Amino acid sequence: MLHRWRNWLGRKLPAIGSCFFDSILWEFPARLNEDGLSRGERPAALTFDDGPHPESTPQILKLLARKNLLATFFVCGERAEAHPELVHAIIDHGHQLGNHSYSHPDAWKLPSTQIIADLDRSAAVIEQISGQSLLWYRPPYGHFTMATIRWARRSRQRIVMWNHLPPDYDSRLPHAEIIRLGRSALPQYPLICLHDNAATAEAGRCDAVLAPLIDDWLEAGLQFCLLPQEAAFRQSLSAPEMTVEPGGETT
């Protein structure tokens, strides 16, 4: 029940959140990728949080290479420091990097100064290892505040949420249940949040869960794309924002 509720909330939040926080990316920005799509295809993004992980990251990279797909990996600075070779492997496979904080703190439970210091550290570490400027930031648990919104503006990193959240992060769930929930109720323009961590590193789980889900999504007409990097798309970072705190947890 909890997983169904979180996925339902994730599908409803874009319409609500975009009214108050329009600089945040709540769903895949389809308008930038509709040209050239075949009839019935829907642009979508695959994203992976929490890595890099020494066991799950190589499995995910192999599967994506086999399917000829690209994704965005929201990595944690602490884990990037521990496994810089995996950060380079992500880049070498053509994938995109995003910022997922340094130590995965909850912005709703700690002082803003501590959260901002963690984000500054993460950005510096990931950019030093990768040699790339970060464009995207996903807050752990989806918990953003006005302080993290202001930090993202200053740092030129756009906050990215999601509208589809298969419960691959829950190691207690059987594979069939994760697949069932991952197949259900796909939004029109999916921004799919998956995980690259200890829960998804379980032996065989990548092929047993992620592979069939990707096959189902492709059969449903999804065309997976990287998040856009066009300057025009990022101009909304300078737009005024209403100062309303987020009202609900999504993951």
Distance CA(99)–CA(219), nearest Å, equals 30
Distance CA(91)–CA(239), nearest Å, equals 31
Taking alpha carbons only, the member of 16, 62, 70, 12 closest to residue 45 is 70
- Residue 174: CB partners within 8 Å, gap ≥ 6? none
Per-residue pLDDT of the chain (251 residues), as tens digits, is: 555 555 555 555 665 666 667 789 999 986 554 455 555 578 999 999 999 999 999 999 999 999 999 999 999 999 999 999 999 999 999 999 999 999 999 999 999 999 999 999 999 999 999 999 999 999 999 999 999 999 999 999 999 999 999 999 998 899 999 999 999 889 989 999 999 999 999 878 899 999 999 999 999 999 999 998 754 455 444 444 443 344 333 34
Q: What is the pLDDT of residue 16?
A: 61
Q: Quote the tokens at residue 218.
A: 């492709």
Q: What is the pLDDT of residue 203?
A: 75
Q: What is the secondary structure of 112-178 as a DSSP string? A: HHHHHHHHHHHHHHHHHHH-S---EE--GGG---HHHHHHHHHHT-EEB--SB---TT-TTS-HHHH
CATH 2.130.10.30 fits 2-30+40-92+168-238, yes or no: no
Q: What is the pLDDT of residue 250?
A: 38
Q: What is the pLDDT of residue 41?
A: 73
Q: What is the pLDDT of residue 202?
A: 85
Q: What is the pLDDT of residue 162?
A: 95
Record the pTM: 0.86
Domain boundaries, the chain: 2-30+40-92+168-238
**Cβ-count burial of 168 within 10 angstroms (0-12 exposed, 13-18 middle, 19+ buried)?**
buried
Provide the CA 233 distance to its chain's centre, in angstroms.
18
